[in-house]
Amino acid sequence: MAILLVDDEVELTEPLCRALKREGYAVEVAYDGETALKMIWQQQDDATPYELLILDWMLPKQSGIELCQKVRSRGDTTPVLFLTAKDTLDARVQGLDAGADDYLVKPFELRELLARVRALLRRGELLGLKNGGGDIIQNQRIVAEGLELDIENQVAYRNGRAIALSEKECRLLAFLMLHPQLLTHEEIYRNVWPLEEKPTSNVLAAHIRLLRRKIEDSQELPLIRTIYGKGYRFGTNASE
């Protein structure tokens, strides 16, 4: 996963870059807004866009706010995490209004930053930036096994009927559809629930049961199968 880190404080970027690389991410660094913008456009032209942008608020040549606004003006939905010393409500609102997805105040704990990075990358995956299952993903929609999921509006469509979903049901269904292989409980926890909200197996089973009731009626083939003692698998041929 490719990350662009933009900050002019070398004493921050060097250790942070090392930490991100230890986690398995491919990291590139820019020290001013203009250089960062050129790198972002270049990656897009090469059809290998960054999967996360980590931006400092105060940058030489072009601020993080301006950089984020220009990225969003071109329809780029790459997740953006702001790093800043500004801790006022007005500053947070300004950053979010510019198109940022998350906001972390300096100084921060490394483990918190890494948790936020993981969360934003998971969100990007559910919005179709990555597809592990080879299904069709267009305009934040996933289509598989006759089921269409509109992620943005949290609505699924099957056989002409619209199915309203909760946010958690939508995230869970999207993850299952994008990864139609056997998924263990732990894989689902890690990708659908934030680390600090890890549910029990009974909670996961309850969510699966409710989701089945919504997307499977008595005349339709089951789409979510339980592989007992192992996990769940999506698909009409989802036998072990």
**Distance of alpha carbon 207 from alpha carbon 171, whole angstroms:** 11
Instruction: Collect all residues with Cβ–Cβ distance below 8 Å to 145 and sequence separation of at least 6.
Output: 177, 223, 234, 235, 236
Residue 47 confidence (pLDDT)? 62
Q: What is the mean pLDDT of residues 58-71?
A: 86
Q: What is the mean pLDDT of residues 72-101?
A: 78
- Whether residue 236 contacts residue 224, with contact meaning beta carbons closer than 8 Å, is answered with no
Task: Please give the mean pLDDT across all residues of the chain.
Answer: 81
Q: 10 Å Cβ neighbour count for 129? A: 18
For the domain made up of 136-234, the CATH class stated in words is mainly alpha
**Distance of alpha carbon 233 from alpha carbon 196, whole angstroms:** 25
Of the two residues 52 and 96, the one the predictor is more confident about is 52
Q: Looking at the chain, which residues constitute the CATH 1.10.10.10 domain(s)?
A: 136-234
Pick from 91-95, 138-142, 233-237: least confident: 138-142
Three-state secondary structure readout of the chain: CEEEEECCCHHHHHHHHHHHHHCCCEEEEECCHHHHHHHHHHHHHCCCCCCEEEEECCCCCCCHHHHHHHHHHCCCCCCEEEEECCCCHHHHHHHHHCCCCEEEECCCCHHHHHHHHHHHHHHHHHCCCCCCCCCEEECCEEEECCEEEECCCCEEEECCEEEECCHHHHHHHHHHHHCCCCEEHHHHHHHHCCHHHCCCHHHHHHHHHHHHHHHCCCCCCCCEEEECCCEEEECCCCCC
Whole-model pTM: value is: 0.55
Q: What is the mean pLDDT of residues 154-166?
A: 88
Q: Looking at the chain, which residues constitute the CATH 3.40.50.2300 domain(s)?
A: 2-126
Residue 224 confidence (pLDDT)? 93
How many residues are given for the chain? 240
CATH superfamily assigned to domain 2-126? Response regulator (3.40.50.2300)
Of the two residues 239 and 11, the one the predictor is more confident about is 11
Of the two residues 142 and 134, the one the predictor is more confident about is 142
Residue 60 confidence (pLDDT)? 87
Q: What is the mean pLDDT of residues 173-202?
A: 80
Rg (CA), the chain: 20
Query: 152 pLDDT exceeds 80?
Result: no
Q: For the segment 200-221, what is each residue's pLDDT rounded down to a tens digit?
A: 778 889 999 999 999 998 788 8
In angstroms, the Cα distances linking 232 to 101, 109, 134, 225 are 30, 35, 18, 6
Q: For the segment 115-135, what is each residue's pLDDT rounded down to a tens digit?
A: 888 877 776 665 543 444 434
Pick from 35-44, 98-107, 155-164: least confident: 98-107
Pick from 1-5, 134-138, 178-182: least confident: 134-138
**Distance of alpha carbon 126 from alpha carbon 173, whole angstroms:** 10
Residue 131 confidence (pLDDT)? 43
**Distance of alpha carbon 51 from alpha carbon 107, whole angstroms:** 24
CA angle 200, 169, 196 (to 5 degrees): 40
The distance between the two most distant Cα atoms of the chain, rounded to a whole number of Å, is: 62
Residue 194 confidence (pLDDT)? 61
**Distance of alpha carbon 81 from alpha carbon 83, whole angstroms:** 7
